[in-house]
């Protein structure tokens, strides 16, 4: 219940500080070993809660605030880990991120009914502290096989978010963005 309370407080804070919530970016993610099915249910529930339930809570409370002001824009950050049909070594993360993609597309009608546009970005490898840690723990062979030679920069993802916020013709769209 702490996450629900925290998200509700975050939206209330934005409304108090800026008099409305115009833009919401759901950008959280993570997973820890061992991965499903080796991990216990409480462990993989944490991953699903962070990567899917957190996004849903953000949308739930964000839409309520945006509806009061006549609309807004929500951009969900998913992952290439949620795209495709090939095996993936972190299944609970991939499943949660795939659910974010489908959730986003399913909410395209909020634009017509409430003036709230929901879109999604699915980046590949982004050069962040977390991905640097992951890469440093890989063997050279794993890095060669899994990591593209050019990584996305956080600023590039921010530019894509701005594009979705500024372009009011897009709702329910999913941008797949992979370097290398």
Return d(Cα 18, Cα 16) in angstroms, integer. Answer: 6
Residue 1 in this model has a pLDDT that exceeds 70? no
Enter the DSSP assignment of 50: I
Average pLDDT over every residue of 5-24: 95
Query: Whole-number mean pLDDT of the chain?
Result: 93
For residues 55-64, average pLDDT? 97
Q: How many domains does the chain have?
A: 1
- C-alpha distances (whole Å) from 180 to each of 5, 44, 123, 149, 151 are 40, 30, 12, 6, 7
Contact 124, 178 (CB under 8 A): yes
Tell me the pLDDT tens digit for each residue of 124-152.
989 999 889 989 998 999 899 889 888 99
pLDDT at 180: 54
Average pLDDT over residues 17-31: 93
The Cα–Cα gap between 11 and 23 comes to: 10
Question: In CATH, what number is assigned to the domain containing residue 50?
Answer: 3.40.50.720
> If you average pLDDT over residues 78-94, what whole number do you get?
93
pLDDT level of residue 110 (50, 70, 90 thresholds)? very high
Confirm if 79 and 95 have CB atoms less than 8 A apart: no
Q: Which pLDDT score is estimated for 2?
A: 66
Q: Containing domain of residue 89, as a range?
A: 2-177
Res. 3: pLDDT tops 90: no
Q: Which of 36-45, 54-63, 140-149 shows the lowest mean pLDDT across its residues?
A: 140-149
Catalytic residue numbers read 93
Confidence at residue 151, expressed as pLDDT on a 0 to 100 scale: 92
The predicted structure's pLDDT at residue 177 = 86
């Amino acid at each position: 219940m702490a996450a629900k309370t925290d998200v509700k407080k975050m939206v209330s804070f934005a409304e108090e500080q800026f008099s409305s919530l115009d833009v919401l970016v759901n950008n959280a993610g993570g997973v820890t070993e061992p991965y499903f099915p080796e991990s216990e249910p409480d462990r993989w529930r944490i991953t699903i809660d962070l990567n899917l339930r957190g996004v849903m809570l953000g949308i739930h409370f964000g839409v309520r605030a945006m509806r009061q002001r006549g609309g807004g824009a929500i951009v969900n950050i998913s992952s290439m880990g949620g795209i495709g049909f090939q095996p993936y070594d972190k299944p609970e993360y991939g499943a949660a991120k795939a659910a974010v993609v489908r959730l986003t597309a399913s909410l395209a009608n909020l634009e017509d009914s409430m003036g709230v546009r929901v879109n999604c970005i699915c980046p590949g490898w982004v050069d962040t502290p977390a991905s640097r840690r992951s890469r440093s723990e890989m063997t050279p062979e794993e890095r060669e096989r899994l990591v593209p030679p050019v990584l996305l920069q956080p600023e590039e993802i921010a530019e894509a978010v701005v594009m979705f916020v500024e372009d009011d013709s897009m709702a329910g769209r999913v941008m797949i963005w992979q370097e290398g």
